[in-house]
Structure 1
């Protein structure tokens, strides 16, 4: 089994969601929770972007004991110097610097050439190595970067001292096969690739961030960059809880993380509350409906053996437990189960009669609640017995 390092960027990329700006106190509280969760690297912010972000990175650096604390910068000397200053108290500091490498970025964003961008990339890493031993280089828009040129850039920045190589699918463009092939190409065509760690940083514009990150790890990446609840620019980043549980469920991949999975739901709720972004009910792992069953066929199978419809035990991810939700699609076994849970014991014939009344109620509302069940049971018990 090989470890995949979890690089959490909730406090940096996740905070870029409109309306999710965090103050220093909120960032500190979440940083401590992320460290307790078992995150290996915490990207605490972008120090040069504002005095508040500088302060947050500096204060987080003072309190984090085990995780690496990372600060983002552009390939600009002043950015890197400010990031280094913010990280000066960190026990394990990392500067994350880089530049766009796709032709879209080189021509449109920088009005530059491939050779000039390569030189700027190398220079940025050298500047960062003047301050810290751990330097991560990001090749922005690597997902749309020509593989041969990307390999040249990666080889050069490793020679300059980069220890981690971030290969971002910045626009969420890649298919999993394409992203995996890109990682494999770098593993096979960069002579000094063994001197650094490849990292996946995927966005979810086409809903493929988790799939791309897992495929990248299978192809040789040993760091995944992600956020709690998949927060991030536009459609979001790779979801931490998803990649962690995919690797845990699929042990045949030979990969593991140090995340304490029982904390996933509690930290999901805390991030949602702090950042004021509700989690969609059908969100994998941490959504309110992730362990809810409302179809009669599903409920019957689940009540016979939970593994028929649940591949994860709710306790394993700190969820409140499985739920049998009663709707017009529910069956008799689910009705009997819920009645028993609230203290009623009916035989099969009783349930058959009650079920007809239940369906009339269910057709009139979206969900049959506990009080509805009490009313049905009391009404049934008061009816005179028929001969």
Structure 2
């Protein structure tokens, strides 16, 4: 057992009291043992990695916080030439892993540079940025299940990975579909080298301001992404108040295809399903000269939460009265701690943002971070 540390010192939002109990796990075996013992005791618990997607309350958490401090990664046998498989410990710093992969000419996660937190958190919310998501490179995870205490290896296809979600994520007000803790993950990257190569992914090209087909090194893509994130206050920097946040505080809402028609044309929106022209095949021996009308399909649409917030009248840097929490001065989707803010002040601002967007557009914004001891 470790002397509990205030969670304000261990989370990027820098709020939260010290829990009643704390344990540190620096090896896989220590992590498995700690989890099994806490589960056997019936204690309330949660695991803490980098603390970058967490809002913890001002009152002490009456349970056990297990800090995942496992680090390192190793190369595993690959199924074919030209790819590298890495098994990564859950507590490994994510951006250090990205930097290593770029330096070694491995393509697949370079556009996710600068994302704070640990590798074990990446599959939980299917992290992604600038055209890449962990689902594109994730092979499997090794996890321990709370219900049985058993360790198993689960393919990525069985994790329910979706837009910033998985079966392992604890959404606000909901229990996860599967209560388990990731011990390690295996990713597969393409060995392309460090020389310039054409960018073939249109999303990455657009994000870094280049044309499809333009040549760039993995390192130059990483540098461009880091610069973009820094301009939005999304790279941890002790000198920048805007980085005391949990990243994007609200998910981009997914609404029915008809609802966006009531929004202004300039509201950014993206399809949630690929547009595929329907092909209708009618055997000649059954064709009677009549072709049935196609059945209309209206897939859901994702809209920009940042646009909704700004156009509900809340600008960058907005705060309530003398509150020490405010919207980022660089990006309205982040709620920031301007110095000494409480969890209550962060939650108060989040509720106000939700209320304004609901009043203006009739859309409910759902928070992205995990909440412990906090209600909206």
Both proteins in one fold, TM over 0.5: no
TM-score by length of structure 1 reads 0.24
With a CA cutoff of 8 Å and minimum separation of 6, indicate the structure with the bigger relative contact order. Answer: 2
Structure with greater proportional helix content: 1
Structure with greater proportional strand content: 2
TM-score by length of structure 2 reads 0.25
